Amino acid sequence: MSALAPTLEAYFTDRLIGQRRASPNTVASYRDAWRLLLRFAQTRTGKEPSQLDIADLDASVVAAFLEDLETERHNSVRTRNARLAAIRSFFRYAAYRHPEHGGLIARVLDIPTKRTERKDVTYLVADEIEALLDAPDRETWCGRRDHTLLKVAVQTGLRVSELTGLRNSDVELGTGAHVRCRGKGRKERSTPLDKETIQTLRVWMAERAGEAGDCLFPTRANSSLTRSAVGCLFAKHTTTARQHCPSLRAKNPTPHTLRHTCAMELLRSGVDVSCGRE
């Protein structure tokens, strides 16, 4: 057996999960990065992933992989840098277990991240928010779910992963109405709800029903929505909203735009958002 397979297994089970207690999202991100790298190395060497050794993943292979991400898979520089971070993390771990590969590991760790330009922060104004919230067809079950999800996103500024992770038990609609979530960095937080969002959620939850541990915004099969599913429904409703709100045609919003929109709404209301930064 090569040194790579047991070291990679130990890295995920012992290092990431056991010692660092990395979040499921971090583990999944690093897993995907290594899955892509192993597939790329297999194509270059003709070896099965289980047969690859650390020596097969030298700096030239890793650099070629990163270039392939941008040219062939059309990944952004940010995604390229995120994949590199996952690779570096493993090689730092491997350096102590396999000092015989110290030179190779040092050269991989020396691969620099790429600079990337910061894009202007996009957010929606009142007319655009209204058009987006009106876009779902509330005569249908999916339309009512999407309307409620978008309403909660605009009002709370939750990330997509936080929205899809919400359970029925995370919503409190009584005195001091709020939603609870565990966000980035495992930070627990509660976000208050306004009267309109409370009413929207009350109607949706009465229809949604289910157990306390069931996801708040399920699919038709009663499973949690994925990030890609939220992206698709957001794109669909944005297209509909553009027909009624011309200013949206000049923007290219994403689900994360609603997080910026929430922050801008708080700023306009005189709230100091710096006190709640994560």
Radius of gyration, CA atoms only, the chain: 22
Exactly one of 88, 107, 251, 256 is catalytic; which is it?
Answer: 256
Is 159 noted as a catalytic residue in this protein?
Answer: yes
Active-site residue, selected from the candidate residues 101, 144, 242, 259: 259
Tell me whether residue 184 is one of the annotated catalytic residues. Answer: yes
Amino acid (one-letter) located at 256: H
Given 144, 147, 151, 159, the catalytic residue: 159
Catalytic residue among 35, 44, 78, 184: 184
Query: Alpha-carbon torsion 128, 132, 138, 139, what sign?
Result: positive
Known catalytic residues?
159, 184, 256, 259
